[in-house]
Amino acid sequence: MAQPLPYRSHLVALAVFVGLTLVLVAPVLGAPHQLALGHPANDVWNHVWGYWWFADRLAAGEIPLQTKLLGWPEGGRLWFIDAFGAVLTLPLQSLWGPVAAYNVDIALQLVVCGLGAYALALALTGSWHGAVAAGAVFLTSPHLLGQIYNGISETMAAGWMALALTAVVWALQRPSWKKAALAGAALGIGAIANWYYGLFGALIAGVLLLTTLWRHRDAPPAARRQTAVLISVATVALFLVVAGPFWLFSQSMKGTGALVTRNEQFVWMTLILHNMTDLVSMFRPGRNYSPDLKAVFNEDLIVVVYLGHALLWPALAAPLLASPRQRRRIWTWVAVFAGFFVLALGPFLYINGRYVAWGDRWVGLPFLALFRGVPMGSSVSHAYRFVVGAGLALSILLAFTVRALGQRGHRLWLVAVGLTTLRVVESLFASPAVFPLPTTKVEVHSIYAHLDGGAVWDLPVGIPVLARSRYAAAQMLHGQPIPYSLNDPTPPYLYRNRLGQYIMELERSRIAQVPLELPTKDLVLAREQLIEEGLRWVVLHKTPLPPAQFAKIAGFLDLVATPVFADEELRLYRLDPLPGGGDAGAPMP
């Protein structure tokens, strides 16, 4: 049994991970309250809004599972997908606001990714140098950098999965009921942090358990009974931690009141038409994306599944370099890598931009069995995220390689620093990930602070859904409901209303002029219906629209609402029961 490392060794490792994290998040360090990590046309706005909403509801004494702020007028059930990060940063948000909380959470999760891979590699290899290398390369993996670019903060929580697997390894190395309970609870925490990583952690833990049982297949009956008891303890601990949150999460997506849904047909179409994993992209460096979501769907999301040659080949050399005694553990992690590599390819083989056919059918892959045969498997809409498990396995294998080279007489620090530097440089400058990371200036027009007493409808509608989520961020000032939900391209209620439908069709049409007065009675009645339901404000933004299109929509809104504010960025209208009545024309501050 190796001697425990002194605390200063762990502190050095922590310093390495903090230093790398500061390099990655450097673009926001000058203004962490205002600049958010991620591309402004992606999920940044949704996640910053979620941090604000989650903290606001808790401060009001409510459990954040229902909201009237989205999907006006009905609202609906909502599980904020990064509830774990929002809870972790609650104290920070009360002091510095949701943007800073979002940034700090991403930075914290990056450090935890480093620490998780470090702890797991140290438990498996006993090599401090190899463990630091594993933590550094996992922290800087291209996929995680791509997810920061996309503004999807909950996908940064992969370190909790690695920490949970460390607890599993401890329990398998020196079994006890306390360690079994810790392993089960840790797997549950990893699942709450991110449901994908809960699945990944359970799969890897299952592989580790099965290989351990196989090695001890000749154990006496008493030892087998003890093992069964410990497995039961871990399972119960896992269930106690995860059952409640998972039930709430699954219920939030069911029924007509769900703001986010995951029906099987939608997930399936997403898998094969939007979230494909190109085998070539796993090995091809440079800014090459397949599918190219910008070209195909006009989305700025990037899918990064690049494994990296500076990690792949040194990691896979571990079985060749290690001693025969070490190879049993190493082959386990080679199997983990291979399994996650194949699952990351999704349901069908996709190479160089097209599906591969055998006869008249696409070539099916093992992901199909997971999708169809595992409970909740049909909710897995992002098969490419399995690359996180493959990347963790390669990081562990790299630690084995470092240890093996050290045992062959090479200088450990030189080997570790050299391999780590090559991989980090590759991730930052040669992979499809974007570095330096882009930022989003989360700035809301001050006029929103003066809106109260009714729902707010921002126009135009016809911009990408993720970019349009900046309308939700305005709620951090006005606090009023909006008709937009999280995934609907068109607000359902407004499209069912004749006036709302007319405005949206006007936005999309090529009609050059609008009538000089309200043309039909049905538009007048529809307008009154919107007012009765509580719609009070309409905000028309200039930037996304061509000048002629903006003028056309503004001309029509002048007929149906009262202009109360205008500047170079937007025009604000108020819906009053009687146009021009009372103080309808009074300007706002």
Give DSSP secondary structure letters for 413-449: HHHHHHHHHHHHHHHHHTSSS-SSPPEEE----GGGG
Model confidence at 3: pLDDT above 80:
no
Alpha-carbon distance values, 62 to 59, 76, 192, 241 (Å):
7, 15, 20, 21
pLDDT digits (tens, 9 = 90+) for 471-486: 999 999 999 999 998 8
Name which of 338, 80, 91 is nearest 194 in CA terms: 80
Check residue 515 and give its pLDDT: 60
Model confidence at 301: pLDDT above 50:
yes
Check residue 587 and give its pLDDT: 43
* Rounded to 5°, angle at Cα 84 from 387 and 385: 10
Mean pLDDT of the chain, nearest integer: 92
Check residue 289 and give its pLDDT: 87
pLDDT digits (tens, 9 = 90+) for 398-417: 999 999 999 888 888 999 99
pLDDT digits (tens, 9 = 90+) for 304-335: 999 999 999 999 999 999 988 889 889 999 99
Average pLDDT (187-204) is 97
Reported as a pLDDT band with limits 50, 70 and 90, residue 588 is very low
Most confident of the ranges 129-143, 210-224, 551-565? 129-143
pLDDT digits (tens, 9 = 90+) for 549-587: 899 899 999 988 999 999 999 999 999 985 444 343 344
Candidate from 10-24, 274-288, 507-521 with smallest mean pLDDT: 507-521
- The string over 286-310, giving b where at least 16 C-beta atoms fall within 10 Å of a residue's C-beta and e elsewhere, is eeebbbebeeeeebbbbbbbbbbeb
The reported pTM is: 0.94
Domain ranges, ordered by start, for the chain:
7-429, 446-574
Average pLDDT (116-124) is 98
pLDDT digits (tens, 9 = 90+) for 231-251: 999 999 999 999 999 999 999
pLDDT digits (tens, 9 = 90+) for 336-368: 999 999 999 999 999 999 999 999 999 999 999
Check residue 486 and give its pLDDT: 81
Model confidence at 295: pLDDT above 90:
no
HEC secondary structure over 27-66: HHCCCCCCEEECCCCCCHHHHHHHHHHHHHHHHCCCCCCE
Check residue 488 and give its pLDDT: 77
Helix axes 158-173, 177-193, angle to 10 degrees: 170
Q: In this structure, are residues 438 and 358 in contact, taking their beta carbons and an 8 Å threshold? A: no
Check residue 85 and give its pLDDT: 97
Higher pLDDT, 544 or 484: 484
